[in-house]
């Protein structure tokens, strides 16, 4: 049981990162590789805010959300929008988001140095809880709850709200969306803002959970998150959550039954297999491209 829960909690972190990641992919069909930098920025700026201003955690989260949203809008405006309509927008978007991420990281290094930083120990109560014979921390439970509720709220948002309808129309056919009078630019900005806000908060929760934030944390999670969104199905929000949990559990089981040296092999092997056997992922609907 402890094993299983460990996997679930590990997976919920992956999911938290992946939900924002997959949101942009699902709607705008773009892989935003600057997401890792936003994640790191959320963590490091969050730490700065807390140590400088001493704000409590419940106040910090909205501040980081805003930071993430601003970064998201910048990413969309600078790295993606100028590419609209270009035949190589796919490749170019990858590269421009990588470049944007690199700039964000170097600015973070300029602001806070390269040292590993962390939140003050008392920012979040380190309470331990007994669940089904396993001990877990309160924080882990909170992260899991946050991941699940985010997934539900976002799924609802995309499925039911006006914004969500706009998003889905764009996902279906951007040209048609423009013809129908949707403000494609604003909706993609909003999508990026939403995605990055989630990414930034994920960075804060992640850092609280592991008690360390360095410039490289986003990068380490990014690869796993790629695995998660593929396993769960590109663009599928529930898929990102379930994919994250599956990956987390698979990794923990690999550590215990195969050997920790091969743990990452399991993650990428799983990813590879899923792509071969079911490219649309466990929960993704295959986009039928017109021919």
Partner 1 sequence: MLTEYSSLITLIALTAILAFSFYAVLIAGQLSLAQVGLASLAAFTSSLVVPAEPLFGFIPPLLIGIVFGMCVGIIAAFILGLPVIRLRGVFLAIATLAFGEMVRIFLINQSWTNGAQGMSFAKLVGIEIAWIALAVVAFWFWRLSGSRMGRAFAAIREDELAATTMGIDVPRYRMASFVIAGAVAGLYGVLLAYFSRFADPNEFSFTAAVDGLVTAVVGGVTFFVGPVLGSIFLSVLPEVQRVVGIDAGWIRPTISGVLLLVVILFLPGGLSGLIPRRRSAKRLIVDPSERPDLPALPAPGTELVRLQGLGKSYGGVHAVRSVDLTVAAGEVLGLIGPNGAGKTTLVNMVTALTTPSTGRGTVLGIPLNDSTRAHRLAQAGVARTFQQIKLFNRLSALENVLVGGYRITHDTLLRRLVFLPSARRFEREAVAMASAQLIRVGLGDKAANAAGDLSYGDQRRLEIARALASHPSMLVLDEPAAGMNHVEAGRLSELIRSLAADGIAVLVIEHNVRMMLATCDRIMVLNFGEVIASGTPADIARDPKVLEAYLGSSGSDADADAAAALAAEDLAEATARSVGEHERGVSASGDGANESDDTQPEGDR
Partner 2 sequence: MRRKLLSAAVCGSALLLAITGCSTATDTGTTADGGLTGTGSGADCVIDSAIPIGASFSLTGAAAQYGASQKNALELAVDDLNKVGGVTYELTVEDDATDPKQAIQVFDTLIASGASIIVGPTLSNTAKQTNPIAQDAQVPVLGVSNTAAGITEIGDYIFRDSLTEDAVIPQTVKAAVDTLGIKKVVVMYSNDDAFTESGYQAFSAALQDQNVEVADTLTFSKSDTDFRALLNKAKQSDADAIVVSGLIDAAVPLVSQAREIGIDTPIIGGNGFNSPALLTGAGQAAEGVIVGAAWNSASDNEQNVKFIADYTAAYDGAPDQFSAQAYAGMQIIDQAVRAQCSGEREDIKAGLGDITDVPTVLGDVSLNENRDAVHDALVQIVADGQFTILK
Examine residue 116 and tell whether it contacts partner 2 (CB under 8 A): yes
Examine residue 279 and tell whether it contacts partner 1 (CB under 8 A): yes
Q: What angle do CA 238, 47, 210 make, to 5 degrees?
A: 55
- Rounded Cα distance between 11 and 221, Å, is 11
276 binds, options partner 1, partner 2, none, Cβ within 5 to 8 A by partner type: partner 1
Q: Decide: 172 and 29 in contact? Cβ < 8 Å.
A: no
Q: For residues 28 and 267, which CB has a smaller minimum distance to partner 2 in the complex?
A: 267
Cα 75 to its chain centre, rounded Å, is 15
Local structure of residue 286 (DSSP, 8 states): P
Q: Which two tokens stand for residue 283?
A: 């929960």
Segment 62 to 121, residues that bind partner 1, using CB under 8 A: 78-79, 82-83, 86-88, 90-92, 94-96, 98-100, 102-103, 105-107, 109-110
Query: Binders of partner 1: how many residues, by CB under 8 A?
Result: 47
Quick one: which of 31, 209, 1, 250 has its CA closest to 118? Answer: 209
Question: Which contacts of 85-94 are long-range, i.e. CB under 8 A and separated by 24 or more positions?
Answer: 89/30, 90/29, 90/30, 93/30, 93/31, 93/32, 94/31, 94/33
Examine residue 113 and tell whether it contacts partner 2 (CB under 8 A): yes
Examine residue 253 and tell whether it contacts partner 1 (CB under 8 A): no
Provide the mask over 7-26, with x wherever binding to partner 1 is found by CB under 8 A and - wherever it is not.
------------------x-
Of 212, 258, 265, 285, the one binding partner 2 (CB under 8 A) is 212
Examine residue 185 and tell whether it contacts partner 1 (CB under 8 A): no
Q: For residues 193 and 266, which CB has a smaller minimum distance to partner 2 in the complex?
A: 266
Examine residue 115 and tell whether it contacts partner 2 (CB under 8 A): yes
Q: For residues 65 and 71, which CB has a smaller minimum distance to partner 1 in the complex?
A: 71
Quick one: which of 230, 239, 226, 246 has its CA closest to 283? Answer: 239
- Rounded Cα distance between 276 and 266, Å, is 15
Q: For residues 5 and 274, which CB has a smaller minimum distance to partner 1 in the complex?
A: 274
Examine residue 262 and tell whether it contacts partner 1 (CB under 8 A): yes
Of 197, 255, 266, 271, the one binding partner 2 (CB under 8 A) is 255
């Amino acid at each position: 049981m402890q094993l299983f829960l460990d996997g679930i909690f590990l997976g919920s972190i992956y999911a938290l990162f992946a939900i924002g990641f997959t949101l942009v992919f699902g709607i705008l069909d773009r892989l935003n590789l600057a997401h890792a930098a936003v994640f790191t920025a959320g963590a490091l700026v969050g730490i700065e805010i807390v140590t400088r201003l001493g704000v409590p955690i419940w106040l910090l989260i909205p501040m980081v959300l805003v930071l993430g949203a601003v970064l998201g809008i910048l990413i969309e405006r600078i790295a993606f929008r100028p590419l609209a309509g270009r035949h190589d927008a796919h490749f170019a978007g990858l590269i421009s988001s990588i470049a944007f991420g690199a700039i964000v990281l170097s600015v973070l290094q300029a602001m806070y140095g390269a040292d590993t930083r962390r939140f003050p120990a008392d920012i979040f109560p380190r309470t331990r809880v007994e669940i089904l014979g396993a001990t877990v921390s309160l924080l882990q439970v909170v992260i899991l709850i946050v991941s699940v509720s985010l997934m539900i709220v976002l799924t609802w948002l995309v499925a039911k709200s006006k914004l969500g309808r706009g998003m889905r129309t764009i996902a279906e056919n951007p040209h048609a969306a423009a013809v129908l009078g949707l403000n494609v630019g604003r909706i993609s900005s909003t999508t990026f803002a939403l995605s990055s806000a989630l990414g930034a908060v994920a960075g804060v929760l992640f850092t609280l959970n592991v008690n360390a934030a360095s410039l490289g944390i986003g990068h380490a999670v990014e690869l796993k998150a790629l695995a998660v969104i593929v396993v769960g199905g590109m663009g599928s929000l529930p898929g990102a959550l379930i994919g994250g949990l599956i990956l987390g559990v698979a990794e923990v089981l690999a550590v215990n039954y195969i050997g920790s040296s091969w743990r990452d092999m399991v993650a990428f092997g799983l990813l590879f297999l899923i792509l071969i056997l079911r490219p649309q992922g466990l929960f993704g609907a295959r986009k039928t491209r017109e021919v």
